[in-house]
Amino acid sequence: MRLILGVEQQMIQEVARKIAKTHFEARAAEVDRLGKTPWDNIRMLAQNGLFGVNVPEMFGGSGGDMLSHVATIEEVAAACASTSVALSTQALTIAPFLIAGTNEQKKQYVTPLAKGEVLGSFGITEPGAGSDVASVTTTAKRYGDEYILNGQKVFITNAGDSEIYVFVTRTSQDRTNGITLFVVEKDSPGLRFGKKEDKMGIRGSTTREVFLEDVKVSKHNILGHEGEGFKILMNVFNETRPVVGAQAVGIAKGAFDYSVNYVKERKQFGKSIASFQMVQSMLADMKMQIEAARLLVYKAASMIDRNENNIAPYSSMAKCFASDVAMKVTIDAVQLLGGYGYIKDYPVERMMRDAKITQIYEGTNQIQRIIIGNHILKD
């Protein structure tokens, strides 16, 4: 199994690093302060083909692999976590099409998503259905060749900004076999966007409520078949949790790099604080955790690339470990900057707030631990 990047993977990573360092890093504080979608950054990601790194060329992507994809997300997240959420959410929206979509659906929807011409959203969460995805109550009722969708979704990333939506709905009372995925276009009558959330972190990423009020769609808008939604969703998470892991590694790396430069410059007791062993010990722990997290993300990504069995626990480990590392490393980065770490003029404060979401979305870290625990005990 390959756990280091090959030449092509390094090249695409380098493209992402250059753009992120040159264009996103300096704007990240402003993006956070304004709390608005960074459209300039999104356009730049699109121009450089970074929305479709691991999407087949015939559907608008670059035809690369998952390892390249996670390597690019890490670079973008290290500079601006909010911008990296545009990439990770696009990956989340594209995944069900690649897993279960027809060629027509892929051509119609994946192509503009992979080219970054439009944004996509995946609507799973509801007011009463968070960790327990199978308890969704948004209904899809069949009338001939059409379905009518009704319900409410919450916390939907890019809602209102996106043109293409995938919604998790209930087509029968069977807890898991009654779940069906539908693709819905933004201008569909009855699709309405509610409150925009005022968040702790990733403030440049829009998070909104969505209301589905008698939204009429064709039966051709089903992804996969009726009742297959839960199974598809679990496969989607297998592929997207390492992406969140990569985002977490990136946030941790951004905070770590800043801290290293800072401790070399900052003087107390007549010398650089980098000369204190307790500071070095913190840096050593941060570095070890980031390296270990990255390897776990690469392992899960490589398993996806090799289409291996039993990806779920490794995807969960990658997401859970990397996001716990991101939280710990960013807290330590704030500590290493002392009082300045607590001030918005320095980026580690923002990175600490941005890191928190990686422990929550795409399944909280308690849910990841349940998946890993079940895997350990299943035989």
Ligand X SMILES: Cc1cc2nc3c(=O)[nH]c(=O)nc-3n(C[C@H](O)[C@H](O)[C@H](O)COP(=O)(O)OP(=O)(O)OC[C@H]3O[C@@H](n4cnc5c(N)ncnc54)[C@H](O)[C@@H]3O)c2cc1C
Q: One symbol per residue from 207 to 226: x for binding ligand X (CB under 6 A), - otherwise; what is it? A: x-------------------
For residues 125 and 152, which CB has a smaller minimum distance to ligand X in the complex? 125
Which one, of 180, 186, 155, lies nearest residue 167 by Cα?
Answer: 180
User: In whole angstroms, how close is the CB of 376 to ligand X at the nearest point?
Assistant: 16
Question: 59, 147, 155, 314: which one contacts ligand X (CB under 6 A)?
Answer: 155
User: In whole angstroms, how close is the CB of 320 to ligand X at the nearest point?
Assistant: 11
310 burial type by CB count under 10 A (0-12 exposed, 13-18 middle, 19+ buried): exposed
For residues 187 and 198, which CB has a smaller minimum distance to ligand X in the complex? 198
Query: Interacting stretch for ligand X, rule CB under 6 A, among 111-119, 152-160, 225-233, 255-263?
Result: 152-160
Q: One symbol per residue from 73 to 112: x for binding ligand X (CB under 6 A), - otherwise; what is it? A: ----------------x-----------------------
For residues 114 and 124, which CB has a smaller minimum distance to ligand X in the complex? 124
Query: Interacting stretch for ligand X, rule CB under 6 A, among 73-81, 94-102, 219-227, 353-361?
Result: 353-361
Contacts of 340 (CB under 8 A, 6+ apart): 262, 346
The tokens for 138 are: 């948004």
Catalytic annotation, pick one of 74, 75, 209, 362: 362
Number of Cβ within a 10 Å radius of residue 287:
15
Judge whether 208 and 159 are in contact, CB under 8 Å.
Answer: yes
Does residue 366 belong to the site contacting ligand X (CB under 6 A)?
yes
Does residue 357 belong to the site contacting ligand X (CB under 6 A)?
yes
Does residue 360 belong to the site contacting ligand X (CB under 6 A)?
yes
Work out whether the CA dihedral 65, 231, 372, 129 comes out positive or negative.
positive
Catalytic site includes residue 362? yes
User: In whole angstroms, how close is the CB of 375 to ligand X at the nearest point?
Assistant: 16
Judge whether 117 and 162 are in contact, CB under 8 Å.
Answer: no
Which one, of 361, 195, 348, 374, lies nearest residue 262 by Cα?
Answer: 348
Written as one letter, the residue type at 48 is: N
The tokens for 57 are: 């060329």
User: In whole angstroms, how close is the CB of 195 to ligand X at the nearest point?
Assistant: 13
> Angle of helix 311-336 relative to helix 229-265, nearest 10 degrees?
30
CA distance 254 to 248: 10
Partnered with residue 313 across adjacent β-strands are: none
CA distance 275 to 283: 12
For residues 105 and 157, which CB has a smaller minimum distance to ligand X in the complex? 157
> Angle of helix 66-79 relative to helix 229-265, nearest 10 degrees?
50
Question: 122, 165, 262, 314: which one contacts ligand X (CB under 6 A)?
Answer: 122
Question: 124, 222, 232, 322: which one contacts ligand X (CB under 6 A)?
Answer: 124
For residues 208 and 299, which CB has a smaller minimum distance to ligand X in the complex? 208
For residues 19 and 98, which CB has a smaller minimum distance to ligand X in the complex? 98
Helical H segments across 119-164, by residue range: none
Does residue 137 belong to the site contacting ligand X (CB under 6 A)?
no
Question: 13, 37, 90, 125: which one contacts ligand X (CB under 6 A)?
Answer: 125
CA distance 65 to 61: 11
Give catalytic residue positions.
362
Q: Which chain residues interact with ligand X by CB under 6 A?
A: 89, 121-125, 130-131, 155-157, 199, 202, 207, 357, 360-364, 366-367, 370
